[in-house]
Each structure stands twice: as structure tokens, then as C-alpha cells.
Amino acid sequence: MKEFQELVAVAPWTFIFQICNLLILTFGVKKLLFQPVRKIMAQRREQIDDTYAQAEKAQGEAQALKAECESRLSGAREEASQIVKTATERATARSEELIGAAKAEVAALKTKADAEIESERRKAASELKGEISEIVVNLAGLVVEKEIDADTHKDLIDDFISHVGDET
């Protein structure tokens, strides 16, 4: 039983050595394991914080670029609408100018045509007068050659009318 007592009994030197071993082991684990792990975790935390900072900075820049693009786009839309408005006004003015020129040209052509018609009418009237004069001279020559009675006079008039119809 003595052997059993030695196993159950508390040996002060063994206890002191076990506590010393525990303290040495704890100190060694702290120095060799926990501190490098903490350094790695701190570095990782710094990297993550830097990544978040860069992401926030990039997001801010993206928001600024987006706002700038939207302002440029709205400016471009306003400029495009102004260009369309100006082009429409120019086209309207040009069409009115062309319509006015066409009306003036039509009026000039009408005036010229009226003048040509009047000239042709006068020419035709002049030719008709010449032909009538010629027929009258021929008729007068016939009248002078013949003695006129009522039947002859009627025949001459009918002949004159038939010749006038043939000449025109």
C-alpha cells in the first residue's frame, strides 16, 4: 500500500516542477505562437482596412464620375435639342424663302405669258385685219367690175363669208 500512497500523495518538488513546466510552456507558447499569430492577424486587419478604405475611395470617385457623366449627358441633351431647334428654324426659314422665290417666279412667268398671249392676240388681230383688208380689196375689185343688184350683192356677201371662214 505504500506504493499506492506514493502515487496519491502530494510531492512538493514534483508540484513545483510541474508549475515551473507549466509557466515555461505558457511563456513559450505565448512568445512563439500567440505573438506571431497576433502579428499576422494585425497585418491582415490592416490589409482589410486598407482594402475597405480603397473601396470607399473608389466608390466616391465612381460617384463623382457618375455625377460628372450625368451632368455632361444632360448638357449634351440640351445642346442636341438646341441644335435640332436651330436646324428646324433654319429649315423653316429656307422653305419660306424658297416658297417666296417660287411665287415670285410664277408671278413673273404669268406676267410673261400674259404679255406673250397679248402679243400673239395683237399679231393674230393684225393678221386678221390684213386678211380682211385683202378680202375687202378683192371684194371691192369685184364690185367695181360688176354691176350690183340684190341677188349679186347677196352672192358677194355669201362668197365673202365663205372666204373668211376658209382663211382663218
Q: How do residues 149-164 score in pLDDT, each as one tens digit?
A: 667 777 777 777 777 6
Residue 139 near residue 167 (C-beta atoms within 8 A):
no
Q: Is residue 33 part of a domain?
A: yes
- How far, in Å, CA of 153 to CA of 159, rounded? 10
pLDDT at 168 over 50: no
Q: Is residue 75 part of a domain?
A: yes
Where do the H-state alpha helices sit in the chain? 2-8, 12-29, 35-145, 150-167
**Residue range 114-126: mean pLDDT, rounded:** 89
Expressed as residue numbers, the domain containing 79 is 27-167
Angle between helices 35-145 and 150-167 (to 10 degrees): 160
Q: Is residue 88 part of a domain?
A: yes
Q: Is residue 145 part of a domain?
A: yes
pLDDT at 146 over 70: no
Q: Is residue 42 part of a domain?
A: yes
Q: How many folded domains does the chain comprise?
A: 1
- Of 20-24, 64-68, 124-128, 164-168, the poorest mean pLDDT is in 164-168
Q: Is residue 19 part of a domain?
A: no
Q: What is the mean pLDDT of the chain?
A: 84
| Amino acid 1: pLDDT | 58
Q: Is residue 10 part of a domain?
A: no
